[in-house]
Amino acid sequence: MSHPWDLRVLDLSDPARAARELARVGADPAGVGKMRDKAASLALKVHGLKAPAANILKQEMLAVGGDAAVGRGVVNCSVERSDAVVLGTRKQLRALVRKLKPQPFGLRSLAAEVQRVAAVEPTPPVLRWDGGALRLEQGPLVMGVLNVTPDSFSDGGDYHEPARAAARALEMVDEGADLLDIGGESSRPGSDPVSEEEELRRVLPLVEYLVGRVAVPLSVDTCRSGVARRVVAAGAALVNDISGFRADSEMARAVADSGAAAVVMHMRGTPKTMQSDTRYGDLLGEVWRGLRESLDLGAAAGIPRERLAVDPGIGFGKNAAANLVLLQRLREFASLGCAVLVGASRKSFIGKTLGIDDPRDRLEGSLAAATLAVWNGAQIVRAHDVRATRRAVDLAWAVRRAEEE
């Protein structure tokens, strides 16, 4: 059978790839940018619209050539509210913004949010702090995990002694770590907190020792504003807050005042309680909204968005199935406009999925999770096994960025 046209489907979800394919057929360079936005479709989910607003949204999206799925009771207003899934290209969404701005029922504010989301590029360029920045568009970054605790879930006690911790830090840099994350309090499920004094006793001397001895930025994994202020003053560049600025009401202000960058994570409850209820009615929606609220707390304290990264909190208040879904749909967090960090290394969902009890024996699963995270849009992966993770994510990135010669 003859196939004279060789008709095939192109994956143009990546804007750069779309531009290359359009240029390949000889399209006018001036038109490539415009056509690129026609190639990439987006699906936006909107929560809790009033029925009249949902109806207007549906009609206006149809008018610009897209569509919107809304509840069946919207047309006759037999339901009071409805969620909506808006389907369209970036060009259609920009046209929708113009149509929604004069509309009632809160649609003007929705227009502003659609405009923001439709303008977000897949990869933010930098994560900044006073005196430095991490480039994010050049490939995935590996954050080496260094727990100076006696009771962390996979390496508790390994680096509790200062000399061993310092040696491991230097070793991870040699293995390819782009930054180091130092933790002085275990966050394993069921763990109890330690005092601020004890946390500082564990982490501050190591930060002071490493500043000037390693060429990579230092992050400190803490939920306490007092610890954050001390370690940043000592030279740390990032604060990694697993509570997302919620455990300590002064944390966002401490980060803003210090000029540090911060990672905000989603966690339900505390490490002590987080695994007591892992049921979600809307997993992605709840995690996304929780991260947005953390970003809002940062903004209210005066932290620019370019100084913040988000972490969906794999293993924190989620069961194994939920963690797999978060990895699968990680790209949805890009609309928050921040770097996305994923910490899946050695975690229990890998053990439960593969039937491996010992966290130290979860290397292959950890590498698979890191590779999938990068493939699905993560810019930073947190890892215990730095050398192996460095190699795995670099290959994943090479495949993502591969071009025909």
Lowest model confidence (mean pLDDT) among 38-52, 231-245, 322-336: 38-52
Tens of pLDDT, residues 126-153: 999 999 999 998 899 999 999 998 765 5
* Same domain assignment for residues 20 and 105: no
Half-sphere exposure at residue 137, Cβ-oriented, CA atoms within 13 angstroms: 7
* Same domain assignment for residues 324 and 375: yes
Marked catalytic residue, from 36, 268, 347, 362 = 347
* Same domain assignment for residues 228 and 371: yes
Contact in structure between 179 and 238 (CB atoms under 8 Å): yes
Indicate the average pLDDT of the chain.
91
Confidence at residue 152, expressed as pLDDT on a 0 to 100 scale: 58
Lowest model confidence (mean pLDDT) among 235-244, 267-276, 313-322: 267-276
Confidence at residue 26, expressed as pLDDT on a 0 to 100 scale: 86
CATH number for the domain spanning 81: value is 3.30.1370
Task: Please check the confidence at residue 322 and state whether its pLDDT lies above 70.
Answer: yes
Task: Please check the confidence at residue 159 and state whether its pLDDT lies above 90.
Answer: no
Tally of structural domains, the chain: 3
Tens of pLDDT, residues 95-129: 999 999 999 999 999 999 999 888 776 667 799 99
- Please return the burial class of 394, using the count of CB atoms within 10 Å of its CB with bins 0-12, 13-18 and 19+: middle
Marked catalytic residue, from 382, 387, 390, 400 = 382
Residue 161 vs residue 3, higher pLDDT = 161
What whole-number percentage of the chain has pLDDT above 90?
Answer: 70
17 part of the active site: no
Query: What distance lies between CA 214 and its chain's CA centroid?
Result: 26
pLDDT tier, 14 (very low <50, low <70, confident <90, very high otherwise)? confident
289 part of the active site: no
Confidence at residue 188, expressed as pLDDT on a 0 to 100 scale: 77
Q: Domain range for residue 389? A: 126-401
Contact in structure between 169 and 180 (CB atoms under 8 Å): yes
Among 119, 151, 169, where does a domain finish?
119
Lowest model confidence (mean pLDDT) among 29-33, 34-38, 310-314: 34-38
Task: Please check the confidence at residue 155 and state whether its pLDDT lies above 60.
Answer: no
For residue 1, is it within any domain?
no
* Same domain assignment for residues 239 and 324: yes
Q: Looking at this protein, which amino acid is placed at residue 287?
A: V
Q: Which letter does DSSP use for residue 192 in this model?
A: P
Largest CA distance in the chain: 77
* Same domain assignment for residues 189 and 266: yes
For residue 340, is it within any domain?
yes
Torsion angles phi and psi, residue 249, rounded to 5: -65, -15
* Same domain assignment for residues 314 and 393: yes
Confidence at residue 176, expressed as pLDDT on a 0 to 100 scale: 98
Contact in structure between 310 and 326 (CB atoms under 8 Å): no
